[in-house]
Amino acid sequence: MNNLKILLKMATDKKVLKSLLETYHLLKDDPNFTLIKYMKMMQGILKGEKLVAHEDVYILSTFFPPFPTEAFIQNIIAVDAPIEIFTKQIYAKRTAPISMYLCVTNKCPNNCVYCSAAQRQSEQELTTEEWIKLLEDLQNMHIPIIGLTGGEPMIREDIYELLKAIDDRSVVILFTSGFNLTYERAQMLKSSGLFGIGISLDSHDKTIHNRNRNDDRAFDYALDALKNASKAGIYTMAQTVILKDQVDEESLFKLFRLAYKNGAHEVKILEPILSGNLLAEEDASKILYSTDDRKKLIAIQHKANKRNDMPKITSFAYTESEAKFGCGAGNQHSYISASGELYPCDFVPMRFGNVKDRPISELWLEMNQNIGIPKTKCFAQEVNRKVFIASDGILPLAKSDSVEICMKHRSERFPKYYRDLQK
């Protein structure tokens, strides 16, 4: 279905109209708020995106929780001044990130070339009770998207218990290699409250995927997992790390079609990031994208999003670009390691305190004050070499050094989504 058809469907959906009205009431008393700006905000969210209807909700952008949901409302109210919600939002002065990803285990049956969990296998992981307490705290901060990642989260026997501990103030997305995802398990995930799943699929070519994942069974796991998750009613994303030499329309379109044929509603493209095993490489320029690689990828994404025989395509390269929302590390997005350490992002191993020592709401605000506003470039690509050197390779970096690097890399210029609303 194209965007126009979905917009027409939304226009006649009573739940959509009710939620639009609720959102309007939350924002209307802010002196900076106008109806035109409200429309601009929606336009900014939708720009370059393919709209997707899934069950009774709509995915405007994977950066935001689906609409209309309680999680969407939670995202709006995650500021400290109810009368100035709109102003706080457009200056990114939040009291919580939009998404918090939790590394619920470092254990994994694979050994991917770009994995950031590879160096943390020996950490003492949080217990089930500690995770459940943390989930409650995160929801009380109004965090609308909770990601469960790893390692391989499907290794945890208590994964269903963790999901059941999260109420509808947040949507949950689970990131998996597809390991062990039978149809029965997918149904259990769905009935435990899972909204979305990101399943690793790096290429249409089985050999490439298995080589990236260092596992000969990974490709078959992934395709079965896509089918099983989709059949169970979970919003299903094929998550793919596209290497520099694979940014090619023909092979990407093959990947998009393969994912679609196997049930994916979306293909989410990540680019290689200077993290994990890559930090040990002396020259990573053969692996990292250039500006032209990114432009080429975004053009392929937008072309694919106009077609009806492919799923929604999203990419970090576009969503986190200067032209859209920018880099969310420590502002729109954050990450908690298996041992409870707060990081600005999954890919930025800077230590900002442990959830076992201080409330997460305090730790996050302190980190956010050091990081500042969303950045116009990927923070990981910009600082990770420095982080690796300053830590002598023993990650994560100590807090005092982390603060020092953050202060030197604060951004002054907002990404375009914000600039347009500030005018």
Residues in touch with ligand SF4 (CB under 6 A): 273, 316, 320, 327-329, 333, 345, 347-348, 378-380
CB closer to ligand SF4, 224 vs 271: 271
Place of tokens 């290689």: 272
Please identify, using beta-carbon distances, which residue of 269 and 378 lies nearer to ligand SF4.
378
Q: How far is the CB of 182 from ligand SF4 (least distance, A)?
A: 31
Cβ-based nearer residue to ligand SF4, 151 or 328:
328
- Whose Cβ is closer to ligand SF4: residue 116's or residue 170's? 116
With beta carbons less than 8 A apart as the criterion, state whether 105 and 117 touch. no
Phi, psi at 100, each rounded to 5°: -125, 120
Q: Which one, of 123, 65, 128, 131, lies nearest residue 96 by Cα?
A: 65
Q: What's the closest the beta carbon of residue 159 comes to ligand SF4, in angstroms?
A: 24
Distance from C-alpha of 3 to C-alpha of 187, rounded to nearest angstrom: 29
109: DSSP letter? S
Residue 315 CB contacts under 8 Å (≥ 6 apart), including other chains: 268, 269, 270, 271, 297, 298, 301
CB of 198 to ligand SF4, least distance (A): 14
- Distance between CA atoms of residues 288 and 173, nearest Å: 27
Q: What are phi and psi of 180, to 5 degrees?
A: 65, 20
CA distance 295 to 275: 22
Name 53's bridge partners. Answer: 58
Nearer to ligand SF4 among residue 114 and residue 347 (C-beta): 347
Least distance between ligand SF4 and beta carbon 150 (Å): 17
Q: Hey, what amino acid is at 232?
A: A
What tokens does 136 get? 């409650």
170 close to 162: Cβ distance less than 8 angstroms: no
CA R_g for the chain: 20
> Residue 58 or 318: which CB sits closer to ligand SF4?
318
CB of 270 to ligand SF4, least distance (A): 8
Task: Provide the minimum distance between the beta carbon of 384 and ligand SF4 in the complex, in angstroms, as a whole number.
Answer: 9
* Helix (H), strand (E) at residue 6: helix 3-11
Angle formed at CA 221 by CA 132 and CA 320, multiple of 5 degrees: 60
Nearest distance, CB of residue 317 and ligand SF4, angstroms = 9
Closest to ligand SF4 by CB, 223 vs 350, is: 350
Whichever of 23 and 212 has its CB closer to ligand SF4, that residue is: 212
Length of the chain: 423
Tell me how far, at minimum, the Cβ of 335 lies from ligand SF4, in Å.
8
